[in-house]
Structure formats: structure tokens, C-alpha cells
Structure 1
Amino acid sequence: MKQAIVARADLGMSRGKLAAQVAHASLSAYEDADRKARTEWKGSGQKKVVLKANGEEELFRLADDAERQGLPHAVIRDAGHTQLDPGTVTCLAVGPGRDDLVDQVTGDLSLY
């Protein structure tokens, strides 16, 4: 079991901003998962990987792929209180889910 968080590399977010957005995405997708997936993922160490995307369009394409796979997922939009304009799409989390299913959606992406 794992979760992949895909963050936009084209926004130039600071490390702190990136960390906050990744945390929002992880928690939101976890809440989207069913009880069995949440329990199994938590019991297996909550494996996560953070990956790069180059734009909003890529995040939405990946979100559509996750939806088709039946994987929990969450697209994060920034509130606009600090570095980004309100509503800016920053991250997508896919999973928790089986490694092979998450990899079918995000396996071609580079590490952040």
C-alpha cells in the first residue's frame, strides 16, 4: 500500500509551502479512502512518495486516471493567503492504494 502525492513543479513554491500542500493532499485523499484501505495503509507504515508534475492540466489528467482506477484521490487548491493566488491547483494525492494500482497512475513521474 502507498500514496503518491504529485506536486506542481512549475509554481516555484517554497519548501514550506510545498510541505503544507503535500500534507493537505495526503490527508484529503486518506479521508476519501474506504475504511479497509485506511486501516491497511496505516498498519503498513503509511508509505508515501512525492512526485513532480509540470502543470494543472497534468494533475487533472492524473486525477481522471485515478478515478478510472477506483483509487481515492484529492486535488488541492490553495486558499491564497500567502504565495499563490486563491484557487491555484497545487497538488494531487493518489491513494492509499495497492502499489501496483497507484503506479499505473503515477509510475512514469519523477521524484520531487
Structure 2
Amino acid sequence: MLPTVIAVSIASLTVGYFVGMGRSLVSYNSNSRRILSASDDDDSDLDTDDEMAAIADNYSSSGKGLEGEECKMILAVRMDIKMEKGKIAAQCGHAALAAYKAARKVTPKFIKQWEKRGQAKVAVKCPDEDTMLELESKAKELGIAARSIIDAGRTQIAPNTRTVLGLGPAPVSLMNQLTGHLKLL
């Protein structure tokens, strides 16, 4: 009798486990598909088509002759707000992804160069929001993709605070012209 109870218990646990896993996998896959389909064409974090075209035009004029140069991405972190190391890392991740998504549309040749040559990323200190906005404006004039991250304010920082500016990827010479005066983080 006892061996039968143990066998039925083991069989029940095994079946229950696999049924539960199957249900969670089905749920996971349907959620993944829904998220992917919603985000495939979601460019809400990018500028309007007119702004993107203007940046691309600036790229066409400033990017001539730089097609073979090594490219890098710059992450300019605001120093006037207090962020813990983990918060800085998370915000830099957001900025890198946002800049990359913008650069795919604006400067695809620079993206290819950057991907082939190591995907260099450099974090620098940005003293304040005014400097960050100035850098973003100059970057767009030079035809460099630029995206500033505005924090939602769920953890350490007040809502709607600009934290990190992602720049590029773009040729090292253009990036140095733009951010060469900033110190490394």
C-alpha cells in the first residue's frame, strides 16, 4: 500500500510540474509575441521624420570622408544629480540603446563601422543639464545621433530629470570635437 501511495504521489507531482511549466511557457510565449508585435514599429522615443531628416542631412555634410574611421559612442552622465553606481549603469544602458536606435536611422554607415570595430563606448562627466542640452544640440548640428534619457522618478531621482545623454556612434574625430573637453567618468 505504501509503495503505491508513494508512486501515485511522485506521478502526481511530476504531472503537476510539467502541466504548470507548460502553462507558464504558453503564457510566456503569448506575452512575448504581444510585446514584440507592439514594439516592432514603436519609434515613439525617436524624433519626428522631419527632425530625423534634418539630422541625416547634417550627417551627409559632416560625415564625408569619415567612412573608414573608427567610431565610438559617448555616454555623458550628469554629475550635478546624485546617482548611485547601479543607477548610472542602468541609465547608461538606456542611453546606449536609445542612441543606437536613432543612429540606425540617421547614420547607418557609422553603425556598421562601429559594429565591425569593437563597439567602443566611453562614459564622460557632464556637469549639468544645460551642458547636456547644448551637447545634444551640437550633436544634431554635426549629424550625430543623440538621445537624452529622462528618468521616470521611481527610485533615486525626481521624475522628468535628464540623467544621461547617448551620443553616436560616430567617427572618433567628430566625437572628440564634440566631447573632447569632458573628463572620463
Question: TM-score with structure 1 length normalisation?
Answer: 0.96
Taking every aligned residue pair, what percent have the same amino acid on both sides?
A: 39
Match of 1:20 in 2: 90
> What do the CA deviations read for 1:48-94 (whole angstroms, capped 9, x no partner)?
11000111101000001101100011111001110111110001111
Match of 1:54 in 2: 127
Give the aligned residue type for 1:15.
K
Flag as ranges the 4+ runs of structure 1 deviating above 3 A. none
Match of 2:6 in 1: none
1:89 and 1:96 map into 2 onto residues whose CA distance is 20
Give the aligned residue type for 1:65.
K
Note if 1:80 corresponds to 2:153: yes
- Note the aligned Cα RMSD (angstroms): 0.8
Please list, as runs of the form range in 1=range in 2, the aligned pairs for 1:1-112 lying within 5 A after superposition: 1-33=71-103, 34-112=107-185
2:167 and 2:85 map into 1 onto residues whose CA distance is 21
Q: Higher relative CO (CA 8 A, sep ≥ 6), structure 1 or 2?
A: 1
2:139 and 2:172 map into 1 onto residues whose CA distance is 13
1:81 and 1:41 map into 2 onto residues whose CA distance is 33
Unaligned runs of 5+ in 1: none
Q: Which has the higher strand share?
A: 1
Number of residue-to-residue matches in the alignment: 112
Question: TM-score with structure 2 length normalisation?
Answer: 0.59
1:70 and 1:35 map into 2 onto residues whose CA distance is 12
Give the aligned residue type for 1:69.
L
More deviation in 62-71 or 27-36?
27-36
Give the aligned residue type for 2:130.
E
Three-state SS of the structure 1 residue aligned to 2:169 is strand
Report the structure number with the largest CA radius of gyration: 2
